[in-house]
Structure 1
């Protein structure tokens, strides 16, 4: 097929910045520095993993003891000078290297990596497991799972061999041996749990530089946190259970549980921490989480209790094993807190036919995000605590100062949101009177979060598979492609097949909101776009063929006083985010040194639980005291940038843009003759085997990006076909690259 842009040409990522149409190519020096930093990161990561793998062995125990004795005379003593440096220091070093790599990359990192001329299977996009408790698992993810399982098996084996020596002790009675055995086993389970905990908080640091450097979006990393949680909590539970049985055999169960000693392990804080962890774990299990999401959400806030009392339980020595990952989460959490305090303008709220609500928010023009991004939304009139994730439905190119989401009404929170919008529009009400509480929508936003690189633009051939409201992010993807094509910018996608499965035809209206001809006139000459819709619960069209029940649509522009979204977090400014992380880490090191020099050593502080509390206090204090001024400066810089932008554009121009958008939305409420066209199949489900076979024969020996947005069953069906086609691939057939874009907390 004809293509004006070969697969070897660079492709822009910074799509919101029209000035960067021709970014300079990376110099050899820049590429060399990036390579060196990348190798250094992998080496440090390998050494860090090796520390945990070798920890259960006797030889490594002797080495650690030697290392501790050498470093115990430092300013930080045995904790930060040895254990923290050995077990938590490497991840902080990786953060420094990652920030340096992103800074060296600069704006050139905002270019898309070119695809190969020769299709090949990639570990990250090749599904290995498509069913089971883990869901769809790629080859790269499967390797990671195997590493953690191997570590757990190796640690259990090594510790078991060590524990057998207890049974050979002749001076102990049979009961004493079993009590000692349970105690030793309980300690071993605690060690393994702490090693898993070192990784547990890394995937849920939403704006983490670690996720950016490997281009793993937060919605995908969340499942790693779930997996690690299900691996960590059984070890902690067995740890507590072993000690409970041992104390019961001794007849000192209640006394031991209530014990809180100054020197050594404080038992009562450990009990509190374990109970908090169990509550989080049980309510996070799929049967509980799906039936009662609010229970899961609120109990998961007990992570604060879990972490603080864990530090009190094990003291600074044991807490240092996992402190690095927890500290990075604290850094990210404080930044998100600062962003989410802002009230964001709601430009418009629209109730669409089919039961969906569209919200449009104000944003600064310099806020960067990709089409496949998420935001977390809070509506204070509905709940002051609940945050809900939604896919962005607008392209970064669709509007410089607005961003929109489509929300399907499927639960209590979304139902209340729709009712509120209807009340505000006057469609519903009590005797035509509206209380003051119904006169506005007070929204706060976190994000956007997503891929650093819009990977949907790296494929010349795309298959977008959506289920129900999963079409929302694909509207942004299609808009992205159409805008790029219309503006003449490099854009790889030339063949796009959209497969959308819905229950009833009243949801078809969502496709009408994408006016392809207005966005890119004569797009069919440049883009082969095909949309197939499958209506599963209707055997025939509700009206005449080709007509759709438009239902009722209402729109209102709430009088929400606030400002645009903050550029903090998300894919924001790398210089500021890097400075914030570095200042917080350096501040933590400095605060720990000052604390030891002027307080711990002079006053001979020996209490383990108190020193653990001081360690947590240094984490929180360093982020606020040292990182806070950077956030404040970042915020001031943002305000000056927005002020300069408004001065350039003019206040009247800004208002006219908002008004034009409002009119456009109203016009798009009904299908147009020039709107996106599609074929509808009633009473049928997509046969992915036939679809993929047809695509293989038609598109030939190419890379095909498959993106799925929908329920787990849909993801599994598509992943199964991708795996099957790739394993049975012939020379002239394509390689299917599986990607998932479904968020599941």
Structure 2
């Protein structure tokens, strides 16, 4: 990708995003209400879009344009990364050093967790936007105060105005709420984010919006009680917002909010999981309450989420081909799926898995540990049996079953790997957290096959509860791959067994059981739902479905809604207009996505000619002990095991040698927070922290 193309696209993104942001800043002011809005409505108000033409242009179009162009940008970036002549590593390293301060943790404390400088800066700006908007809304409304019933007092009217404007502020949070949970988003990578790393933003926005909506609801109930209008609780107006729809929406939202509290979510995960699927009904009644005008303002996030959710459904509709599993004595399993050769992904990517024999509805995310370059036909994930779902899976695999049906969504992950830029890596893991680091080490192993490759020194610090957990270290090596020389890696492994005070008589490197599965004609290798050029096809879906929505909406309004409003003397039902908007959004997305998916499948089948064959692996135990030159033996030689103690995190980090040390941690919250505090303390300037956490 040429520098000129990159610069042009980035300039477009910046200009459009800043313009969209200015609209949100100006919307609560008198200038927008009395100046901009009337002028725009006089020019854009037509029989095709009515009053919503302004909101579609100002709030929906800019974000949809960014989403479409970013697909082109990511496609070109993907091609440039694959290019052998690409020199992006050096450029990335320079830019990363400049941004080192902004990526440094500055707040490490519950309930926010680990917050970097750039996250804190954007968070403060967002809160400032909320405060600015509320202050301007109240200033304008108090200056033009309306009494909604005879004898109403001024303070009562102001109380109603405050309650109403709190709902307006909650809508600003809603405008961003769905972007972090759009797994295949083309917008998040522009900010260097993945859906997994930005889940916390969804949580923050969810809590904040619920506080505002709860205050909005309670405020109106109090206002109606004070003014003897409690009958309005049962009102479903034909010409204005539906109070009943809003009440149903807040009840659904409260159920999701309460079950998402960390303590409730950890103890009753299934309750949280199933309750959170009420979001579809919540969106439905929420839109019926706020109306078509606000729906157009919030449309981009919801639109892109529905596109992503439908594509995920189409991928999960097919069963994935499970080739074999490795069963470890510590209650851990490695599942190996067949995949198409063109499926590429980066370390720390996530795969969502559903096993119908355990639960038809539950989907669980796991880190992909395989490397697409070393294992072109294989994709593996590691699952630690810590919950009810994973324990049932472990029991099934331990009983020597010959077939397990599974469906997958993904993999999803970063668009590039940046950890290789460091001079050295210090990686901390606790328990099953090592699975995320396995993918990074396998990428480094692959880099040894490249000439003149930059390989950082790696120090892996692992904390395990029991001796049997040491067997997870054997998963650092794939079960089958391209040839490599493991001795070329400067790898030092330090394992700490915290709940045992001394080494058992026999060395803990126990054998791994390998289970092969029968093939099934209904199973297929994992592949991108839109094929190798998935970013371009995603851009085509986003663009085509949004244009089709605008066309069908314009025709529906012009030939059906507008004549009723203006020719029959009646007013078209407020809620029916919202239903049309939601129906057209969903139907356009489903139609366009289905057509493009069928087209991609036909092209893919024509290119492949025949399905990928399974890689046969002999069913024997893989032992770490063996000949001196076995790779498993090399892992044992590179590993130091200490019993009855925990790693001294501060000593390890402050004694790390090198001017550029990448610090990665994946494990319990306390470990992540302790490492982040050390890196942010200022005691060492060479530490660059990055948390890898999937504890939602």
- What is the TM-score when the length of structure 1 is the normalising length? 0.86
Map 1:323-362; keep pairs closer than 5 Å.
323-362=299-338
Segment of structure 1 superposing worse, 456-465 or 373-382: 456-465
In the alignment, does 2:513 pair up with 1:557? no
Change (3 A) 1:531 1:340: same
Change (3 A) 1:670 1:419: farther
In the alignment, does 2:29 pair up with 1:48? no
Q: How far apart in 2 are the matches of 1:73 and 1:162? A: 24
399, 406, 420: which one pairs with 1:443? Answer: 406
Q: How far apart in 2 are the matches of 1:571 and 1:666? A: 36
Map 1:84-123; keep pairs closer than 5 Å.
84-105=56-77, 107-110=79-82, 112-114=88-90, 115-116=92-93, 119-123=97-101
Give CA-to-partner distance per residue, 1:236-280, whole Å, 9 cap, x none: 111111111111123332x21211121111111111111111111
621, 627, 635: which one pairs with 2:587? Answer: 621
Q: How far apart in 1 are the matches of 2:633 and 2:75? A: 48
Change (3 A) 1:721 1:572: farther
Q: How far apart in 1 are the matches of 2:485 and 2:216? A: 66
In the alignment, does 2:536 pair up with 1:575? yes
Work out whether residues 452 and 571 of structure 1, in 8 Å CA contact, stay in contact via their aligned partners in 2.
no
Q: Indicate the RMSD between aligned Cα atoms, in angstroms.
A: 2.7
548, 555, 559: which one pairs with 2:508? Answer: 548
Change (3 A) 1:512 1:69: closer
Counting matched residue pairs gives 677
**1:626 deviation in Å?**
2.3
Segment of structure 1 superposing worse, 67-76 or 232-241: 67-76
Map 1:225-304; keep pairs closer than 5 Å.
225-253=202-230, 255-304=231-280
Q: How far apart in 2 are the matches of 1:123 and 1:67? A: 44
Work out whether residues 705 and 739 of structure 1, in 8 Å CA contact, stay in contact via their aligned partners in 2.
yes
Show structure 2 runs of 5+ residues with no match: 566-570, 627-631
Segment of structure 1 superposing worse, 377-386 or 34-43: 34-43
Work out whether residues 482 and 519 of structure 1, in 8 Å CA contact, stay in contact via their aligned partners in 2.
no
Q: How far apart in 2 are the matches of 1:188 and 1:178? A: 15
**1:383 deviation in Å?**
0.9
Give CA-to-partner distance per residue, 1:535-590, whole Å, 9 cap, x none: 1111111225xx11627746342555411113127996322222222222222222
Work out whether residues 371 and 395 of structure 1, in 8 Å CA contact, stay in contact via their aligned partners in 2.
yes
Change (3 A) 1:223 1:488: same
Q: How far apart in 2 are the matches of 1:161 and 1:71? A: 28
Work out whether residues 339 and 527 of structure 2, in 8 Å CA contact, stay in contact via their aligned partners in 1.
yes
SS of 1:568's partner is: coil
Give CA-to-partner distance per residue, 1:648-670, whole Å, 9 cap, x none: xxxxxx45xx224x45x742576
448, 458, 476: which one pairs with 1:496? Answer: 458
Change (3 A) 1:623 1:69: same
Segment of structure 1 superposing worse, 669-678 or 202-211: 669-678
Segment of structure 1 superposing worse, 442-451 or 127-136: 127-136
**1:104 deviation in Å?**
4.3
Map 1:70-219; keep pairs closer than 5 Å.
70-105=42-77, 107-110=79-82, 112-114=88-90, 115-116=92-93, 119-123=97-101, 125-162=103-140, 164-165=142-143, 176-219=153-196
**1:690 deviation in Å?**
0.9
SS of 2:342's partner is: coil
Segment of structure 1 superposing worse, 193-202 or 514-523: 514-523
SS of 1:743's partner is: coil
Give CA-to-partner distance per residue, 1:643-698, whole Å, 9 cap, x none: 3675xxxxxxx45xx224x45x7425767433352111211111121111211xx3
SS of 2:236's partner is: coil
**1:72 deviation in Å?**
4.5
In the alignment, does 2:291 pair up with 1:315? yes
465, 468, 475: which one pairs with 1:506? Answer: 468
Change (3 A) 1:40 1:675: same
Work out whether residues 276 and 302 of structure 1, in 8 Å CA contact, stay in contact via their aligned partners in 2.
yes
| Cross-structure match for 2:664 | 707
Change (3 A) 1:48 1:355: same
Work out whether residues 166 and 181 of structure 1, in 8 Å CA contact, stay in contact via their aligned partners in 2.
no
Give CA-to-partner distance per residue, 1:130-170, whole Å, 9 cap, x none: 2221111111211121112111222233334445558899x
Segment of structure 1 superposing worse, 402-411 or 344-353: 344-353
| Cross-structure match for 1:667 | 622
Q: How far apart in 1 are the matches of 2:115 and 2:532? A: 26
| Cross-structure match for 1:719 | 676
Q: How far apart in 1 are the matches of 2:519 and 2:624? A: 22
Q: How far apart in 2 are the matches of 1:41 and 1:123? A: 24
Q: How far apart in 2 are the matches of 1:396 and 1:640? A: 23
**1:120 deviation in Å?**
4.9
Q: How far apart in 2 are the matches of 1:277 and 1:212? A: 29
Work out whether residues 56 and 159 of structure 1, in 8 Å CA contact, stay in contact via their aligned partners in 2.
yes
Work out whether residues 509 and 624 of structure 2, in 8 Å CA contact, stay in contact via their aligned partners in 1.
no
Work out whether residues 215 and 453 of structure 1, in 8 Å CA contact, stay in contact via their aligned partners in 2.
no
| Cross-structure match for 1:736 | 687
**1:329 deviation in Å?**
0.7
Show structure 1 runs of 5+ residues with no match: 1-25, 426-438, 647-653
Segment of structure 1 superposing worse, 553-562 or 398-407: 553-562
Change (3 A) 1:248 1:72: farther
Change (3 A) 1:182 1:424: farther
Work out whether residues 345 and 413 of structure 2, in 8 Å CA contact, stay in contact via their aligned partners in 1.
yes
| Cross-structure match for 1:468 | 431
Give CA-to-partner distance per residue, 1:436-487, whole Å, 9 cap, x none: xxx63110000000000012223231111111111112222212211220x2
Q: How far apart in 2 are the matches of 1:569 and 1:501? A: 40
Work out whether residues 705 and 738 of structure 1, in 8 Å CA contact, stay in contact via their aligned partners in 2.
yes
Give CA-to-partner distance per residue, 1:278-332, whole Å, 9 cap, x none: 1111111111111111111111111111111111112211222211211111111
Work out whether residues 179 and 305 of structure 2, in 8 Å CA contact, stay in contact via their aligned partners in 1.
yes
Change (3 A) 1:119 1:268: closer
Q: How far apart in 2 are the matches of 1:315 and 1:275? A: 18
Give CA-to-partner distance per residue, 1:69-88, whole Å, 9 cap, x none: 22453354344311222222
606, 611, 615: which one pairs with 1:640? Answer: 606
| Cross-structure match for 1:391 | 367
**1:64 deviation in Å?**
4.1
